[in-house]
Structure 1
Amino acid sequence: MSYKNILEEIEDNILTITIDRPKKLNALNRETIQELHNAFKEARSNEEIKVIILTGSGEKAFVAGADISEFADFSPKEGKRLAADGQEKLFNYVANFPKPVIAAVNGFALGGGLELAMAAHFRIASDNAKMGLPEVSLGVIPGYGGTQRLPQLVGKGRAMEMIMTAGMIDANQALQYNLVNHVTEQEELLEFAEELANKIMKNSMVAISAAIKSINANFEAGVNGFETEIQEFGRSFGTEDFKEGTSAFLNKRKADFPGK
């Protein structure tokens, strides 16, 4: 499928999705959110794709925020629908995606951009990256999961400070806060992301999908994460990957997981 606002490249079972609105610093508008949803939906059913890397075009920004011009005159009802639709189509969809999603943050990740990065399963950042949720400076709050995911990642106090001050932190602060896992030089960012993807793909993708579901369950209201883990652990015993993995271990050979 061809897109107006994003680019796709598949190589060695890795799908790289690049948000490509450089003149707008890759800001998210409704069309881009829909295109990202469509790309992830296609990737879900494409057996060739095992890991997704999400990044922005150019050297300045991952995503510098939402496209404010689209909703500046919205009513409360329209604003609520904007947040609900965005979370359903993209942010929650990415967070619960069954294949690993790595955000490669190459510059500004502000507002909806940081929320998108936080929806990914983990983040790496270039050394010029700057991150923040500046929504309160516009008289609104983060609406794409920012008030929920930021405290989960950095703790309540730091999240409160970041949101209340509407300030930005740099890549090293983000690393200190556990908001990102690694910081690299910008020219090495995608290569490093691919190295991580290759490490992931040496393992059972079926088990990884179950692990994603189990980890996420701990953060869902009314869900017992331990019970989800028990259920997914039990299901693992019925997979071909489990048979291959245990056989390879017992026979002292490298596992060749069928992905089933």
Structure 2
Amino acid sequence: MPQNNAHYEIKDQVAVVTIKNPPLNCLDAGTKEDIGQAFTEVARFRPGVRAVVLTGSGERAFAAGADLKSFLEFDPKAAKVYLSRSQEIYTAIRDFPCPVIAAIRGYCLGGGLELALHCDIRYAANNARLGFPEVNHSLFPGHSGARSALQHIPLGKLKELVFTGRLINADEAFRLGLVEEVFEPHLVFAKALELAREIAAKGPLGVTAAKKALNISSDPAGDQGIESVIDLWAGLTATSDMKEGVRAFMEKRPPEFKAK
């Protein structure tokens, strides 16, 4: 059943949710809502759906982050509303009753990488490029994806990636533990679907309970601290540097930050 910028299909107890916002599947507010709605619709078919594959349309991107232009209109209050709603959608995917597998091709950046990190398992194509480029716009990852990354990589390495905005390739992401497998681009979706079907053949109550137990075990603090992260991110929208970072990106020029 189609939505505006995301759609889902269900076959043989596996749902495929596809982000469709060409050319790079940017995660503007409407696209996030459509992704959330797709998962809400898929949940109605439970327990008939036992695994989900989340992917991006086309070959260029899983999801290349946010629609930066909209950030120019933000103040801290509006930014907090935006980020809180986005976090609700990401959390719903993290807590979805059955496993969610991200099939990543091309760019997986910023909020797109945070979205992938809220999935249970990530398969990547060898042409994938992953990273948190938010500091280029005087921001930082605000959807608790950085906290999710800490389940896979050391704090120092995560700080290096976040502080520099550096992008890494799929092989380095695999070495760090951000993705579980790397495949040729034409194979990654098929391999994710194969894994989803393998999971769907197992005892569904056991898999659901195992997911809950593993999520609790890996994040004993629960959602404590997310609100503080949202406040920090929202506060940056009142700064001149954030506006300069976004405008510089849109104008394809180096930013001139002034720490104010």
The answer for the alignment partner of 2:60 in structure 1 is 60
Instruction: Give yes or no for contact 1:133–1:146 (8 Å, CA) kept in 2.
Output: no
Q: Equivalent pairs: percent with the same residue?
A: 38
3-state SS, counterpart of residue 193 of structure 2: helix
The answer as to 2:4 corresponding to 1:4 is yes
Alignment of 1:76-91 (within 5 A): 76-88=76-88, 90-91=89-90
Q: Report which stretch shifted further, 111-120 or 137-146.
A: 137-146
Task: Give the conservation status (yes or no) of the 8 Å contact 1:151–1:158.
Answer: no
TM-score by length of 2: 0.82
Question: Is it true that 1:120 corresponds to 2:99 in the alignment?
Answer: no
Counterpart amino acid of 1:123? R
TM superposition shift of 1:195:
1.2
* C-alpha RMSD over aligned residues: 1.4
Deviations 1:145-193 (A, max 9, x none): 1221122221211111110010101000000000000000010111111
Structure 1 pair 220/80, CA: closer, same or farther in 2 (3 Å)? farther
Deviations 1:25-83 (A, max 9, x none): 00001111111111111211203321110000111100000111122221112112211
Q: Which one-letter code corresponds to 1:191 in the other structure?
A: A
Matched with 2:245 is none
The 1-side partners of 2:8 and 2:57 are apart by 11
Q: Structure 2 unaligned runs (5+)?
A: 224-260
Give the equivalent residue in structure 1 for 2:257: none
Confirm whether residue 177 of structure 1 aligns to residue 176 of structure 2: yes
Matches within 5 A, 1:143-158: 143-158=142-157
Q: Residues 5 and 20 of structure 1 are in contact (CA less than 8 Å); yes or no, is this contact kept in structure 2?
A: yes
Alignment match, 2:104: 105
Aligned partners of 1:123, 1:161: CA distance in 2, in Å? 21
Instruction: Name the aligned partner's letter for residue 91 of structure 1.
Output: Y
Deviation at residue 2 of structure 1 after TM alignment: 3.1
Question: Which 4+ runs in 1 deviate beyond 3 A?
Answer: none
Counterpart residue number, 1:72: 72
Gaps of at least 5 residues in structure 1 are: 224-260
Q: How many residues in Structure 1 have an aligned counterpart in Structure 2?
A: 221
Deviations 1:90-120 (A, max 9, x none): 2111111111100001110000100000000
Q: CA deviation at 1:222?
A: 6.3
**Do structure 1's residue 137 and structure 2's residue 133 form an aligned pair?**
no
So what's the TM-score if we normalise by structure 1? 0.82
Look up the equivalent residue of 2:81 and give its one-letter code: R
User: Do 2:62 and 2:105's aligned partners in 1 also have CA atoms closer than 8 Å?
Assistant: yes
